[in-house]
Chains A and B, each alone.
Chain A
Amino acid sequence: MSSGTAVRPADKQHEARPAAAPRPCRLLAAAGLAGVLLTAALTVATGAGAHGALVGTPWGGGTTWALTAAATAGVLVLLWPALGAWRAAAASAGAWSAGRAADARREAAKSRESAWTSLGWCLAAGTVLGLVWFLLANDRAVQRTFLDGHVMSLSFADITNALGTNLFIAVVAQVLVMVWGLALALARLAPGRAGRPLRLLAVAYIDLFRAVPAIIIIYLVGFGLPLAEVPVLSDLSPTWFAIIALTLTYGAYVAEVYRAGIDGVHAGQTAAARSLGLSHGATLRYVVVPQAGRRVVPPLLNDFISLQKDTALVNVIGTIDAFNQSKIFAANHFNLSSVTVVAVLFIVMTIPQARLVDHLVARDARARAKGA
């Protein structure tokens, strides 16, 4: 009906609603372009700096230049969205003056989106460049201290072996924690007047062990039990002291995870089970706990991830775990690169699990949205 500029005869009462103008985008597109060019220049400068710092090392010379060229090329790829933003901004202005308001707004939106994309990647690239500068600063002092290739390769095998101790502690403690946590949670849910002492005991335990830092529990168990000369217990190895200590601490956390899961099961489920004649215990066992199980998995895995990391705390009682092993290397070489190796190993171990938790949480959210 409307042919672009054609406007209905002006009606005094009902003036036509003026078309909404597109959001401004020219300046942003210019900023995007400038950002990309600036980042490319910084990349070249960083490459030159690295070249200067690395002469005489296997990384110097051609390798540095090749890396610099690749990085700069990568940054220049960002010209693609930046130029796109510029073109769209021009198209938007053209469409607006031609009276095609909707087209103008669409192009302006496209322009802003592209400009922000290129600026966002420039920020990421800038962060990486900053990191490189930090490593190179002071004649590579930072890099030499934390990322000395020689020390890293020297210590890698021993540290990886020692990591087996961490894994052993983590896996055994996780199994024990699952059982102990459930026992605590059920004690906390003990019914009736007769269950009160059990509930109080469970609450006291959970409060206590969540309040005291894990490292102190490990210290107390690891040095205290041998001193106390308790039969059997005192003769265990430091590894088992660590397992006991972490089980005591994490049992308290996991008890709360279970309890939240059990509380989350709808009260109608309990009423239905009880009305069929199931006892309190049978209701928990067949109806409530199985339903709590699923929703408990993600927070449980989260606690397991932090338990794994806390296995490094056992170095206070002298267990030769990965961290302690790396500290031996660090002391011998007066260099922290072996500790970096432990850090990297923990990262490699943890990240897949963190992603798994994310995946499970998302799956649960989807299931709930479906109205399960």
Chain B
Amino acid sequence: MPFLEIDAVRKNYGPHEVLKGIDLSVERHQVVTLIGASGSGKSTLLRCVNALEDIDGGEIRLDGDPVSGPGTDVNRLRRDVGMVFQSFNLFPHMSVLKNVCLAPVKIGGVPKAAAEEKAMALLSRVGLADKAGAHPDRLSGGQQQRVAIVRALAMEPQALLLDEITSALDPELVAEVLNIVRELADDGMTMLLATHEMGFAREVSSKVCFLHQGVLLEEGPPEQIFGDPKEERTRAFLRRIIEAGRL
């Protein structure tokens, strides 16, 4: 059974249908990548999976258990599925360490000392142990995004949703963040991510999905999607990406 199943999910903003029946499954330890033009619905899909948006049709299942619609314990779901955003969204009034420990201590019931020890271990892993006491505004964008990843990992989620986590970064900071995602993938973390970094998507993905105006037009292994796309619109999209020098 797939770990995450997205089954005919629809989402409207008023009269505007943003997701028009998306079917997608993610197996454990898979990295599934969403690509597609701006406005195609990548962020919306990720937010729906995390229940930050209510869906208007279909169903989302985690380990076969429906996690959409009434009666869902969204807080429980979010503990199992972490999310990292394009704009980091670190809490500016807390130190890095507090950012990381907030959820484990207040929600997870982890004793403070244990949570801090764990947080320090995770921060060391991303090379930021020395920044534990600093506030987010003292950190570069790349450092902030690494902290945001650590913050999500601190709840020991079974899967991560990553929404264009390098789009807000200066080019020279992209690599330090992508390296961490690569390591997580190697460690077997289940991930569903949206990205415009096609080279990275090609390298790290188990499966690539092309989204076009709220429809999942094509999915397949990265070699096939990037090397031999079946759909004309996928080809047109990749052509534009190549012209922009991003592949």
Contact = CB atoms under 8 A, between A and B. Distances in A.
Q: Do A and B bind each other?
A: yes
Interface of A: 266, 268-269, 271-279, 282, 286-287, 290-291, 294, 372
A277 B76 contact: yes
Given A268-B85, A278-B75, 8 more contacts: A271-B47, A273-B91, A274-B52, A275-B78, A286-B102, A287-B102, A294-B93, A372-B92
A275 B106 contact: no
Contacts of B90: 272
A276 B82 contact: yes
Contacts of A279: 75, 107
Main secondary structure on A side of the interface with B: helix
Contacts of A274: 52, 74, 78
B131 to A, nearest CB: 18
B103 interface: yes
Nearest to A276: B103
Contacts of B192: none
Nearest to B83: A275
B96 to A, nearest CB: 14
Contacts, number: 63
B75 A271 contact: no
B52 A276 contact: no
Interface of B: 47, 50, 52, 74-76, 78-79, 82-83, 85, 87, 89-93, 102-103, 106-108, 137, 148, 151-152, 155
Contacts of A273: 91
Given A282-B106, A286-B102, A372-B137, A277 B89 contact: no
A154 to B, nearest CB: 53
Contacts of B102: 276, 278, 286-287
Nearest to A290: B93
Contact of A271 (B76, B89, B92, B152): B89
A52 B243 CA distance: 92
A132 to B, nearest CB: 53
A1 B93 CA distance: 59
B87 to A, nearest CB: 5
Nearest to A272: B89
A341 to B, nearest CB: 45
Nearest to B87: A268
A30 to B, nearest CB: 55
B89 A276 contact: no
B9 to A, nearest CB: 18
Given A268-B85, A268-B87, A268-B89, A282 B107 contact: yes
Nearest to A273: B91
Q: Which 4 A-B pairs have the closest CB atoms?
A: A272-B89, A276-B103, A275-B83, A277-B79
A268 B90 CA distance: 9
26 contacts: A266-B89, A268-B87, A271-B47, A271-B52, A272-B85, A273-B91, A274-B52, A274-B74, A274-B78, A275-B50, A275-B85, A275-B152, A276-B103, A276-B107, A276-B152, A277-B76, A277-B78, A277-B103, A278-B103, A278-B106, A278-B107, A287-B91, A291-B92, A291-B93, A294-B93, A372-B137
Nearest to A371: B137
Contacts of A287: 91, 102
A269 B52 CA distance: 12
Nearest to B108: A277
A287 B98 CA distance: 11
Contacts of B74: 274
Contacts of A372: 92, 137
B82 A275 contact: yes
Nearest to A370: B137
A274 B52 CA distance: 8
Contacts of A276: 78-79, 82, 102-103, 107, 151-152, 155
A286 B92 CA distance: 12
A348 to B, nearest CB: 35
A291 B93 CA distance: 7
Given A275-B52, A275-B78, A276-B155, A269 B85 contact: no
Contacts of B103: 276-278
Contacts of B155: 276-277
A152 to B, nearest CB: 49
Nearest to B79: A277
A278 B51 CA distance: 13
B169 to A, nearest CB: 16
A291 B152 CA distance: 21
A269 B85 CA distance: 10
Contacts of B83: 275
Contacts of A282: 106-107
B91 A272 contact: yes
A274 B83 CA distance: 10
Contacts of A290: 93
Nearest to B161: A275
A269 B75 contact: no
Contacts of A269: 89, 91
B158 to A, nearest CB: 13
Contacts of A266: 89
A294 B85 CA distance: 25
B106 A271 contact: no
Contact of A277 (B52, B75, B85): B75
A286 B102 CA distance: 8
